[in-house]
A and B are shown apart, each in its own frame.
Chain A
């Protein structure tokens, strides 16, 4: 199938953001995924998030690996630079790109196969380096493009369309990421746009690696009775802990966020994430308490969602390496080359 563009003619009265862009300007090519695919809802949520954040599309770099999820960067932000890397290796490319140009917004879209099997190592090390990017795992528990094999996120006992139930222990990206020090960890559901969009916005504005694990059912290979990643199962077992709102820098924090019921967290650019606790016993300030909360509730089959952990002050890759504030890619050659004088120094050093 060839690349298809959607018509871009705006109708009169279409809503524009401060940059003058309509939501259509944040869309991409026509999706070639199956009708009803959870990934398309996530794509739509991303379009909305970027539109509302008023980010110029060309200041975004969107990267992915291989798989159904990794096709989706072609379906949003046509005006952004895209890169579809090799399987499981998007984190490395994003790390290099971010190192070279720190001024862009980076969004990586991956899947449970891409991030939890072939790419588990790179996923982990991007977290370790706290690369400043939004990292979405579109998690459906199966390999779609190769027709329905279990992935590493499939739950024990979950049944495939044909054959025996899965017996291997799942890797939960959220618990995994928390365990190795991730600074922004969230889970959401492709079917809950109201929850997902503010989390995406918060993740984009978080200065560091923002992981969002989005349960995104595969309608073709994993949406049947017996699957623990189906729409029905997810809706039945979802348990929201925290509802988050995103408030851009210019807007005042409204009074209705009364003390106790909501906690505004100020991000580096002056925007706020306002956290409203839904589950009373949940405490998102503590990494270890979050992990034990997740383990306890997930043992009961609950799918715990929300912005589960946030450490807004951790050093990102550039802070750690103490790189200059300018993008490395924009430094003039004259500033980088030590010239004849430098070679005189070298000559003395190696005489």
Chain B
């Protein structure tokens, strides 16, 4: 496709293969942030093991002037720091690409490849000579390859220096050591290679007003902005950093001004059952409360989610999805909790789901989730995933409308209760399926009994068929009401398109890139919530063939569409990805073009 000497600026992939526990993540983040601060759109994806030290880990940086955020399937420059995975890493380099390796020791010629360029840098030797402590020698090896890359890729060392200054503010000796390693790497590269390579970074002005943030941090910030005061959780990858983020932001923003005490409470629960139980309890008491978890936690929370649905308790759950089934691969990503969340728990139970696609949406959807949960008086599950939650994404500066008021839903306050003749918890006085609720302790007239057992519209225990069914049918009315309130899907159209793509969440990045490159024009709808609003049905009606792109084996989104909507299943065609790495645009494109060809034959 390209001649080997074509300059390719701001459109390439660097992948670093390393061993976990060696401090590589700070080097990789330094590399990515430096490119970002040169005004060039960039995204970094961390593929790490479920382990603390010694297993292979990779970090993939995609530099994309067009702002693409999915994996491209290419590797233009591999930094092969892990002997254990060397052969696999070498084979992954795209033809015409480069492989950087530690040439401190003599090596076998057969470890090369004809169609790529090998760049040997004696990283260990350089660091052993320059640094004395064993720890520094290991850590600085990683910083040294950043120095090498700064020459190879033409990354501004002044920008790198600024980044290091920020990181090591007040720790001059660490800053000096790091800059020394950068310089050593840079000098070696300039001396031994023709720098820069044809893949290179050229300054742009495209990241002004952007941040680099992960989805869990953004969601945590959303919880603070939504006014959540209570969080309960049980540690589980990849959701842990969400509660860590909430803790950090609360420490910053939520100290009581008079007393210095905390205007929040965060409880590390004994398990996920307790975490959601506490969340439901705090919501019942009138606080905005949430929990965060991943697939195994959803399994454990299911009974309480059913309770929340039937007893109508506002609750927010973040499910940062990872790879199942069972324990699966805890540090890899998937969209495989769609069905288990939609119908979590026994009996006729269903839940409102939100599907953010990137960190910015994690922030806004977190706030939306609290509003919806309280408006609809039901659990709302935000289905993020490891790719969104734990990777740093470019994110526009978040904005805040000072006019925002939390939607606490239909809650009777003390004065309203004072003037009310009678209060019954489950009477649908407005006909929208949503009843008035009260907080404990507010007024004697507001008291009622919340229960997961059969109850009538007055809140009393019942085993009467008519009374039971009345409440169950009213919940269907409420579900219909929910369709008006949940975020609408986003639709993109192209002239002449008869076929279309449907996707949710983090599959969006790959689809966006594919829309530009597919063999024929395609329309696209990104669904952002369940229940599906009327516009989802209409979009499906309007297209002859629809490719449903999702990251699980069993086509869970397609199944949910088929269950919920009036649709000929044959026109929904799956493009699936479920190996645990984030879906790449190359995968979607290949799958789609193949299917498009096939359908031409028919």
Contacts and interface: CB of A to CB of B under 8 A. Distances in A.
Interface of A: 1-3, 56-59, 61, 63, 73-74, 78-86, 89, 91-101, 103-104, 121-122, 124-125, 129, 318, 321-325, 327-331, 333, 335-340, 342-343, 345-347, 350-351
B444 A79 contact: yes
A96 B231 CA distance: 9
Given A100-B282, A100-B283, A322-B261, 9 more contacts: A81-B449, A95-B281, A97-B281, A98-B281, A100-B230, A129-B267, A328-B229, A337-B227, A340-B399
Contacts, number: 233
B461 A81 contact: no
Nearest to A122: B274
11 contacts: A63-B281, A81-B450, A84-B451, A85-B277, A92-B273, A95-B267, A96-B230, A99-B230, A122-B274, A328-B264, A351-B212
Contacts of B448: 81-82
Contacts of B399: 340, 343
B436 interface: no
A238 to B, nearest CB: 34
A80 B277 CA distance: 20
* Interface size of B as a range: 35 or more
B23 interface: no
Contacts of B253: 338, 342
Interface string B255-269: 010010111111101
B447 A81 contact: yes
Given A58-B444, A333-B406, A351-B211, A328 B284 contact: no
A315 to B, nearest CB: 13
A100 B398 contact: no
B453 interface: yes
A84 B263 contact: no
A329 B270 CA distance: 23
Interface of B: 37, 211-213, 217, 221, 224-225, 227, 229-230, 232, 252-254, 256, 259, 261-267, 269-271, 273-287, 289, 303-304, 307, 395, 397-400, 402, 404-406, 438-444, 446-453, 456, 458, 460-464
Contact of A331 (B263, B303, B453): B263
A92 B281 contact: yes
Given A84-B452, A340-B402, A333 B227 contact: yes
Nearest to B226: A337
A329 B439 CA distance: 9
A95 B441 CA distance: 16
A139 B435 CA distance: 37
Contacts of A59: 441
Contacts of A103: 441
A101 B280 CA distance: 13
- Most central of A73, A104, A322 by chain B CB within 10 Å: A322
Nearest to B257: A335
Contacts of B279: 96
A331 B451 CA distance: 27
B100 to A, nearest CB: 28
A328 B230 contact: yes
A345 B252 contact: yes
Contacts of B270: 121-122, 124-125
Interface pairs A-B: 3 shortest CB-CB: A96-B281, A92-B277, A3-B460
A101 B232 contact: no
A328 B288 CA distance: 9
B262 A324 contact: yes
A342 B286 CA distance: 25
B307 A86 contact: yes
B441 A96 contact: no
Nearest to A61: B440
Contacts of A104: 285, 440-441
B441 A336 contact: no
B463 A96 contact: no
Contact of A2 (B266, B274, B280, B460): B460
A66 to B, nearest CB: 8
A323 B261 contact: yes
Contacts of A333: 227, 405-406
A128 B286 CA distance: 24
B124 to A, nearest CB: 34
- Most central of A100, A122, A322, A343 by chain B CB within 10 Å: A100
Given A59-B441, A93-B277, A96-B232, A346 B398 contact: yes
Contacts of A330: 286
Given A58-B441, A324-B256, A122 B462 contact: no
A222 to B, nearest CB: 24
Nearest to B458: A3
Nearest to A81: B440
B213 A100 contact: no
Given A82-B448, A92-B277, A93-B281, A101 B441 contact: yes
Contact of A328 (B275, B287, B395): B287
Contacts of B256: 324
Contacts of A100: 229-230, 265, 281-283, 285-287, 289
B402 A329 contact: no
Contacts of B438: 81
Contacts of A342: 224-225, 253, 400
B281 A322 contact: no
Contacts of B450: 81-84
A100 B266 CA distance: 11
A12 B202 CA distance: 92
Contacts of A95: 267, 274, 277-278, 281
Contacts of A350: 211-213, 217, 395
Given A2-B460, A99-B282, A86 B303 contact: yes
B120 to A, nearest CB: 36
Given A2-B462, A328-B265, A122 B277 contact: yes
A347 B289 contact: no
Contacts of B283: 96, 100
Contacts of A325: 259, 261
B278 A339 contact: no
Contacts of A324: 256, 259, 261-263
A93 B307 CA distance: 12
A254 B156 CA distance: 83
Given A81-B448, A343-B397, A337 B225 contact: yes
A185 B447 CA distance: 30
Nearest to B269: A92
Contacts of B277: 85-86, 89, 91-93, 95-96, 122
Nearest to B462: A2
A229 B259 CA distance: 50
Contacts of A89: 273-274, 277, 303-304
A336 B286 contact: no
- Most central of A58, A84, A340, A350 by chain B CB within 10 Å: A350
A287 B463 CA distance: 47
B447 A93 contact: no
Given A84-B453, A100-B289, A321 B265 contact: yes
Contact of B446 (A58, A335, A345): A58
B346 to A, nearest CB: 11
A340 to B, nearest CB: 5
